[in-house]
Amino acid sequence: MDRAEAEAIYDQGREVVVAVVVRMDEQIRRLEERVARQDERIAELERKLNRSSRSSSAPPSSDPPSSPSHSKDSSGRKRGAQGGHEGHGRPLLPAWAVDEVIEHWPERCRCGHVFSAGEQVPVGEPARHKVEELPPIMVRVTEHRRQRLRCPECSRRTRAALPQEAACSSFGPRLQAAVATLSVRNRVSREDTVELIEELFGARISSGTVDAILTRTAQALAEPHDDLLRRLRAAQALNMDDR
């Protein structure tokens, strides 16, 4: 929030300012809770990674790759690629699939010469390195306001109706699809789905909401499922693998 936006909120009066502050405080508290949970998970993962057959009763076969017992093979050589081995990195994406390009220029030569801006003329093709990252993902909240109007003829007040897609649920179709995918396709429990939705998207739902979303999803897929089943039963041949 910049100064102009803050001043605009302040000009709307005390109630608006208080509401904004309360909402920001709630968001901060939620972020702090998420960070605390992530710290606990990281600490637990570190404990598991540091545990080996030397520090516990676990068998050597359960040691992680980073354990000293896994660092060398029977010949005494370190595991993995040996020195002089040509690496096989991930294939580079084509230029049209890249969202952002950042140029890096050497600052100085090994002889000590410092390159100036005018000397930044590329020689040959650059060495390319790609980093793939997820953008920050937060739910986009849309508030639907149903305004009233008074009829000039009969003086009755009429309130606007909600669009059908908004009236069906307080959650949009993409968020509901994510819930259904986690719960059904990936077999994630209700409690874990609630936690993942908050951690990944910043949305707060309950296990009851998950059940309601799954019920609506099943109802929406009932007709296409029945149609597909009829087509399969009427097909003269079915091509299937052995999985």
Task: To the nearest 10°, report the CA torsion of 194, 196, 199, 202.
Answer: -50
241 vs 68, 229, 238, CA distance in Å?
A: 43, 18, 10
Q: Count of CB atoms within 10 A of residue 70's CB?
A: 14
* Helix/strand/coil for 166: helix
pLDDT tens for 162-190 read 888 787 778 888 898 999 999 988 999 99
pLDDT tens for 57-107 read 566 666 655 555 555 555 556 555 555 554 556 788 787 888 889 999 999
Stated pTM of the model: 0.48
b/e per residue 93-104 (b: at least 16 CB within 10 A)? eeeeeeeeeeee
pLDDT value for 63 = 60
What is the DSSP-derived secondary structure letter of residue 185?
I
Q: What is the rounded CA–CA span in Å between residue 62 and residue 87?
A: 28
Q: What residues pair up with 157 in beta bridges, in sequence order?
A: 150
Q: Which tokens is 45 given?
A: 């993962």
